[in-house]
Structure 1
Amino acid sequence: MTMNTAPADLYRHGLKLLLDKDIAAWTDLWDDKGVFEFPFAPDGWPKRLEGKAAIADYMRGYPDHIDLHDFPHVEIHQTTAEPTIVVEMRAVGRLVETGNPYDMTYIAVVTVEDGRITRYRDYWNPLVVLQDAASDFPRRSR
């Protein structure tokens, strides 16, 4: 991806990397000072990750916990603040440890500057994962 990549194109590329389980390449889409926020995170789970290194550490084991199969619905809305998009999407797959289905709807507010993600607010429903107590992925924080 080039420095002139539109936020929607960068985001779609990131979804492909997640499906390919290429977490290192997905992390490379981030600015060194990027901020990843989880406004609905329950107590004991990270609410904010600051910097590419923290984001990479958090995401490193993602494919070991959630095996994503598809994003059957992705709708990207351009905001009046040009570098920011709002994404409505659904992810499906399975929880690796239990084999249970994973089906999550997200709303994300993502800001991209100079071809890198600088801020990502991930609005997801933690109750979906809390129902499967064996999945501890979102709780990891360092």
Structure 2
Amino acid sequence: MLRRALGDRIDRDANSFVEMMAENGVMEFPYAPIGLPARLDGRAAIARHLENVGGMIAFDRMGEPTIHPSTDPDVVIIEFAGFGRGVTTGEPYDQSYIS
């Protein structure tokens, strides 16, 4: 999905979501659950966080993205959704994202 959305902005040799990010990339979670960070600064911090939470959700699929270009050629806004289940609870996971 990200390769389709971002095209040549992504290094062809990147093999994972984290490798597709800039070294100084930032992720913000304004509605983060208690105990989880609201902001991650840098690729290493993002990778650690994703490793820690990776076992919490079993993703079934990702929705088709909506791309919102900006006037800055280095900025693209992507809306998409993730669907799956909580690993320990079995509860449905249906989350919208803006990246």
| TM-score between both structures, scaled by the size of structure 2 | 0.74
1:89 alignment partner in structure 2: 80
2:22 alignment partner in structure 1: 31
**Structure 2 regions of 5+ residues with no counterpart?**
none
Cα offset, 1:33, TM superposition: 2.2
- The one of 7, 10, 13 equivalent to 1:9 is 7
Cα offset, 1:82, TM superposition: 1.3
RMSD: 2.8
**Structure 1 regions of 5+ residues with no counterpart?**
13-23, 109-142
In the comparison of the two structures, how many residue pairs are matched? Answer: 93
2:69 alignment partner in structure 1: 78
Superposed CA offset, 1:56-77 (max 9, x none): 1100134311111111231111
**Relative contact order (C-alpha < 8 Å, sep 6+): which is higher?**
1
Go from structure 1 to structure 2 and tell me whether the alpha carbon gap of 1:7 and 1:82 turns closer, same or farther (over 3 Å shift): farther
Which has more strand, going by share of residues? 1
Go from structure 1 to structure 2 and tell me whether the alpha carbon gap of 1:35 and 1:72 turns closer, same or farther (over 3 Å shift): closer
- The one of 34, 37, 62 equivalent to 1:46 is 37
